């Protein structure tokens, strides 16, 4: 076979690896955000006053330099941009992977994949749907299964007292745990931080740690609401 041509003038910013870098960086933004968000959520253990005051504080922070809700909007814009980029990169790479193997194997046997790595795409899609639901629920208050009180604390408790709402959130946290488990490791690998065996072990440990801490931390609220500890 005579040889086909070799591409000239590569543009690395358009490469698959650049897309992966984009996903890694935006993923780290999300990790930072969910940690902060979780800190706020856990205020629920301090009772209604503590929780609602925190929610209000988020809106007044930075005043008068920033308008009311200013920081919140900055965060929302950053998150939205990150989300769009993360999802865009994910679906582009997903489509690419599909095209890279159009004829499937009759028999496949995975030997090294963790369950979390195998569920990144569908799990991520589920998380995307959950985020939409979550915003409609608590932010935009379009869906209000637990009543539409002006107190964020009452909305929170009211919602989680309904078993299926709590179930949706708990399932979503399970999905998040999986996503974080592989995502953290994958981001470290994509950023080129895992060049030694110990770095690889640490990146994996960080994945497990973040998964347990974040998903676990969030899950405490619905669990404790259902159990009647928070009311």
CA distance 181 to 10: 33
- Token look-up 């979780």 returns 38
Which one of 112-120, 125-133, 173-181, 217-225 is the stretch in contact with another protein (CB under 8 A)? Answer: 112-120
Which two tokens mark 37? 């968000």
- Structural tokens at position 121: 């795409």
Q: Which residues contact 144 (CB under 8 A, 6 or more apart)?
A: 137, 155
Q: Contact between 182 and another protein (CB under 8 A)?
A: yes
| Nearer to another protein (CB atom), residue 18 or residue 74 | 18
Footprint (CB under 8 A) of another protein, residues 12-31:
12-13, 15-21
Binding test (CB under 8 A) with another protein, winner from 64, 150, 164, 196: 196
Q: By CB under 8 A, is residue 141 in contact with another protein?
A: no
> Which CB atom, from 43 or from 181, has the smaller least distance to another protein?
181
Residue 106 found at the interface with another protein (CB under 8 A): yes
Of the candidate spans 55-63, 68-76, 111-119, 168-176, the one that interacts with another protein by CB under 8 A turns out to be: 111-119
CA gap 15, 1 in Å, rounded: 27
Q: How far is the CB of 224 from another protein (least distance, A)?
A: 35
- Residue 206: CB minimum distance to another protein, A: 14
How many C-beta atoms lie closer than 10 Å to residue 187's C-beta?
24
Roughly how many angstroms between the first and final C-alpha of the chain, as a whole number?
74
Which of 64, 100, 150, 164 lies at the binding interface for another protein (CB under 8 A)?
100
Greatest alpha-carbon pair distance for the chain in Å reads 75
The answer to whether the beta carbons of residues 223 and 170 sit under 8 Å apart is yes
* For residue 64, cis peptide bond before it (omega within 30 degrees of 0): yes
Residue from the set 48, 60, 117, 144 that interacts with another protein by CB under 8 A: 117
Binding site for another protein (CB under 8 A): 1-4, 6-7, 10-13, 15-21, 93, 96-97, 99-114, 117-118, 120, 182, 185-186, 188-197, 199-200
């Amino acid at each position: 076979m005579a040889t086909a041509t070799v591409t000239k003038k590569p543009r690395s910013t358009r490469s698959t690896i650049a897309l992966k870098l984009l996903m890694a960086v935006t993923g780290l933004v999300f990790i930072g955000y969910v940690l902060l968000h979780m800190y706020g959520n856990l205020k629920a253990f301090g009772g209604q006053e503590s929780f609602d005051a925190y929610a209000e504080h988020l809106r007044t922070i930075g005043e008068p330099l920033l308008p009311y809700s200013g920081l919140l909007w900055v965060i929302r814009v950053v998150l939205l941009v990150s989300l769009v980029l993360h999802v865009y990169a994910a679906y582009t790479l997903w489509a690419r992977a599909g095209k890279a193997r159009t004829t499937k194997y009759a028999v496949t046997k995975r030997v090294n994949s963790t369950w979390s790595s195998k569920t990144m795409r569908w799990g991520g899609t589920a998380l995307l749907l959950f985020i939409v639901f979550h915003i409609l629920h608590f932010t935009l208050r379009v869906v209000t299964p637990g009543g539409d009180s002006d107190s964020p604390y009452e909305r929170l408790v009211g919602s989680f007292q309904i078993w299926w709402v709590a179930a949706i959130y708990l399932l979503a946290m399970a999905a998040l745990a999986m996503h974080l488990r592989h995502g953290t490791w994958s981001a470290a690998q994509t950023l080129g931080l895992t060049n030694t065996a110990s770095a690889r072990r640490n990146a994996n440990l960080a994945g497990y740690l973040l998964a347990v801490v974040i998903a676990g931390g969030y899950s405490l609220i619905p669990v404790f609401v259902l159990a009647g500890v928070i009311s």
